[in-house]
Amino acid sequence: MNLKRNGALLGALAVGALTLTACGSDDNSGSIDVDASASRATCEGKPNLSAAGSSAQKNAMDEFVAIYIAVCSQKGKTVNVAYNPTGSGDGRTQFIASQIDFAGSDSAIKGDQAEQALTRCAGSPAWNLPLVFGPVALAYNLEGVDNLVLDAQTTAKIFNGSITTWNDPAIAALNEGVDLPDTAVTPIVRSDSSGTTDNFQQYLEVASDGAWTSGTGSDFTGGVGEGAKGSAGVAQAVSGSPGSITYVEKSFADQNGLSMALLDNGSGPVELTEDSAAKAIEGAGFSPSGEGDLTLDLSSIFGTTEEGTYPLVLATYEIVCSAGYDADTAAALKSFLTSAANEGQDGLGEQGYVPLPDTFKERLTESIDAIASE
């Protein structure tokens, strides 16, 4: 599919298209040249969908919605998807309460919440559909240090308070010849429930060789650091705080002009690039689950020692009912997700995400097609 964006749209997407809130998205269809005949989106069903959740996927969702509006406009349909980036935990809560049509979450819905979703979905299970992949940057503000190298163990010690100054011997050993300042390290962490936090802590637990012992989950467990809300919030906090460091999706680090650490997974330092992150995604497997659910087994990514692989990658799921929607909602949801999984992926690299590999697209599309109404 051929996509052309004018400068205004690029600017709007780059700052997160702030007009896309619970009230919906501005109609950007006039700014995108898209070949709707190549899209499988039917543009059928109800015209307006609602969703909330992960702030990590907000910029990707802006892209998906703008492209979907353009596709359906050419097909004579007026559509919109109102996505509110309230955080993964809140998105799952709203989904269970039937307040939105689907949720965005950096962590799969599971356990008690999956049980509660059975009621929301008229007795059918909720499915986790990975639609957006984004590498998580260790973004820092340290004057004079442009290519900081960290590994999982030193990162764990920074975020559990064991390392408190930037010239700590453990950091210095990874950065030979670099003049590290004798200044305090200020970790910036998510204050809200966040799938980014969950994935970050899972990475530390898997890869830090026992240095991370406080557990995982959507709430930060390390016990140190200053809190900020949302991906935009932590990135902005680091931007204004010399000596600070955070974990945040690459797109937000890019927007704030932050330096990003190279990660040594045991096979040498690896720069965060689309290719190094894609290499990690290609090695991901799926957890045993019901047919149609695509919950990922990310332990093989976080613990990889493959050369040239950037291991700190998260997947953002769209949480949907496998069945139980009314016919109009099911049709609209399948149409939008089909567009997002296909032509919607084309511009994601420009937003700091990693487009879905073709094998993922095929499997994801099969699950989207299987979503059923009552």
Specify binding-site residues for phosphate: 54-56, 88, 106, 194-196
Radius of gyration over every alpha carbon of the chain, rounded to an integer in angstroms: 20
Q: Which residues are documented as binding site?
A: 54-56, 88, 106, 194-196
Gap between the Cα atoms of 177 and 80, Å rounded: 53
Coil vs helix vs strand at 99: coil
Gap between the Cα atoms of 302 and 156, Å rounded: 13
Block residue for tokens 């991901």: 284
Task: Output helix, strand, coil percentages for the chain, rounded to the nearest 5.
Answer: 35, 20, 40
C-alpha neighbours within 13 Å on the C-beta side of residue 250: 27
Gap between the Cα atoms of 69 and 197, Å rounded: 32
Strand 102-105, strand 313-321: pairing: antiparallel
Name the token pair of 195.
């799938």
Strand 262-264, strand 149-151: pairing: parallel
Gap between the Cα atoms of 368 and 23, Å rounded: 25
Name the token pair of 255.
């927007």
